[in-house]
Structure 1
């Protein structure tokens, strides 16, 4: 674990792997350190933002010694996301991977996913754990508007669009589950380290 200064009020912790980033984020989330005002986990990093009262050198020395939980989410059950597999790119992804539609759906819904990090838009979780057979590139021409709830893949990740937005990921289906809701605390249903399962549903 390496700790670097990131400007005048933050530290960047390079954890070296996703699991340690999640565990450090969970430790800082569950037991906030004095002076720390925000924690932003990445795939193999954690950005620790402090206020003017914090001694960054002392904080930098303390971070590698923090006791980390064994699992970022403990015994929490995975978030189940119901999916109707009717996406506009389903047939194209089947052609790219050489799989039938049924096998594509089976592999996508059989995998166990973990939220690697959040980004792109509020509540958008980059889900690791996608079957390598389903790793396909983003579309060459992004769509100007992807509906909220669209279930998609790109490269090694799966995701669900939490709101209507432009996007270039390949669409496999849609879900009615709300991933981002400002009336909820916290607004995002997903957070780094959350486990996720997709559950295939028939079209209503």
Structure 2
């Protein structure tokens, strides 16, 4: 892990050199989130995870308690912490995507088996980005690199417009497009659930750490 200053009141934890950068970043995010909740890091106002990084933001003018951050991470590494119970969101999907056959060809299965692989996977939001409410989901647990979708990259050509609610996969992640936008992910289906509502107290349905179950439209989550 590298610790990089980002101005006087923030620092970036970079896990790119770790054996499993995504897992290391997720562990650090959970550890520091727990430390904030117990009051151990009172000046930290936000933790922003990325694919292989974690931005630690402090109050303006307060500076970052680098020693406190390192102390919390060392304590977590020294022994097991308390189990976390992240919220779970069920997203109903109609699996009618234009790329089902293309994904099936890449992973060597039948098109009608692709929806089963997707909905039988428990996904977890690793970080947010690209657009408001857009969560990058990877398979929960340590088996992400061996998942059948892990070898599915991006489409050779991006689409100029992907409809809102499109359920897609690319580069080991799954996502739901909160609004219409260009996109180069493989489309598996669509949902009517709203991912972003800027009038709501919490605009984003998904937040880092949330578990996501995709279910066939009409089934119970």
Normalised to the residue count of structure 1, the TM-score between the two structures is: 0.85
Q: Which runs of 5+ in 1 are unaligned?
A: none
Look up the match of 2:30. Answer: 23
Aligned length: 198
SS of equivalent residue, structure 2 residue 48:
strand
Instruction: Note the 1:132-151 alignment, pairs <5 A.
Output: 132-134=147-149, 135-151=151-167
Q: Cα distance, 1:43 vs. partner?
A: 3.0
Identify the residue that residue 195 of structure 2 maps to in structure 1.
179
In structure 2, the residue corresponding to 1:96 is in which secondary structure?
helix
Asked if 2 retains the 8 angstrom alpha-carbon contact of 1:43 and 1:116, the reply is: yes
Structure 2 gaps of 5+ residues are 16-20
For the residue of structure 1 that corresponds to 2:31, the secondary structure is: helix
Instruction: For residue 136 of structure 1, report the CA deviation from its aligned partner.
Output: 1.1
CA displacement 1:67-121 (0-9 Å, x = unmatched): 76645xx334421111100011112212222211221111111011111111111
Q: What is the aligned counterpart of 2:181 among 165, 172, 176? A: 165
SS of corresponding position for 2:212: strand
For 1:21-100, list aligned pairs within 5 A: 21-24=28-31, 26-27=33-34, 30=37, 33-56=41-64, 59-66=65-72, 70-71=82-83, 74-100=84-110
The 1:25/1:35 distance shift into structure 2, 3 A limit, reads closer
RMSD of Structure 2 on Structure 1 (CA): 2.3
Cα distance in 2 for partners of 1:22, 1:38 equals 10
C-alpha offsets along residues 27-47 of structure 1, whole Å, 9 cap, x if unaligned? 366457444343211234221
CA contact (8 A) 2:29 2:47 kept: no
Tell me the distance in 1 between the aligned counterparts of 2:160 and 2:35. 37
Query: Could you tell me whether the CA contact under 8 Å between 1:4 and 1:11 is conserved in 2?
Result: yes
Match of 2:130 in 1: 120
